[in-house]
Amino acid sequence: MPKFCPYCGKPVKETDKFCIICGKPLLADIPKSVKEPEIKESKTKEEEIKVEEKPEEKRLEEEEEEIFEEEKKEKAKKKSKKQKEKEEVKPLPEEVKEQMVYYIEYNDIQLNKKVLAEKLKEISQLTKDPKYDYDTDFKKQVNVKLEAIKTLIEELKQKESVIKQNLEEPFIVQRISNDIETKTFQLENLSREHKLHKVDKETFERLKKKYKQEKSELENEKNDLIEGMKLWIQDLKLEKAELSSERKLNKGRFHAKEISEEDFNKNDKDFDLKFKKIDTKIKTLEELTK
């Protein structure tokens, strides 16, 4: 059977190891049928690796997307829940909010008076400085500061007097609590009177129903007020958290040498006063809910 070159197709001898026409090796010892499957098998493995890798990457991407979507839904769910709770809370009556503002302002004045009293004490120490006796300008500056603080204290006292006239004491929550106690006492007393046959059954049932209804209405009113006030407290706590972040930023700017130590200390004192004011508001509202 004649033999042909697998490359150029020209006839060759059985003993030839190279084609006399194209010069390529004939590889007589390696059958063509054996060589081709090796190449094919190698390609198949590469394809298998690619097929395996692609779904894995895609699977990880899909998992990440699922996690992201779940977190997004969870956040939306929590936000929706908070919004729903906020919407369910009845808005505080304007007259109640006005009273709350009066109480907050009153306690804020007490804090400001305390701060000014400390400042007055600090400046008063300067009158003992030897310079105060012989340095006219120094003495004048000290006296101006003293007068300014005394004026501020007097203004606060006047404002305090006006607010006290507008304060309704006790606060509405305490008044409602007192009314609830009254209704509780009336119910207990009514039961005793009925047991002692001092009140007939018909009157007893009618008054019992009346007192219970009035007590229930008072309790609902009190709960609505407290829930509304708690929302206000939450807003103040949120404001405090934001203020805390600003204070940390001020500290970071100082460490990064973006601001001087003098500016840092001044800002930090301002933050300290703001924190005290917010804490005073929160404390005032928490006391009013009791």
In order, the DSSP letters of 246-286 are: HHHHHHHHHHTTSS-HHHHHHHHHHHHHHHHHHHHHHHHHH
This prediction's pTM: 0.61
Asked which of 15-29, 39-53, 94-108 is least confident by mean pLDDT, the reply is: 39-53
pLDDT at 198 over 80: yes
Any residues with CB less than 8 A from the CB of 176 and at least 6 apart, and which? 218, 221, 222, 225
Q: Which residue has the higher pLDDT, 248 or 7?
A: 248
Q: How far apart are CA 135 and CA 141, in angstroms?
A: 10
- Closest listed residue to residue 25, CA positions, set 13, 10, 7, 42: 7
Confidence of residue 30 (pLDDT cuts 50, 70, 90): very low
Is the C-alpha dihedral spanning 126, 127, 132, 138 positive or negative? positive
Q: Is the dihedral of CA 209, 215, 218, 220 positive or negative?
A: negative
Distance between terminal CA atoms of the chain?
113
Cβ distance 26 to 6 under 8 Å? yes
Mean of pLDDT values over 20-38: 57
Mean pLDDT to the nearest integer, 127-132? 92
- CB count, 10 Å around CB of 58? 10
Dihedral over alpha carbons 236, 241, 242, 247 (to 10 degrees)? 120
Q: What mean pLDDT is reported for the chain? A: 84
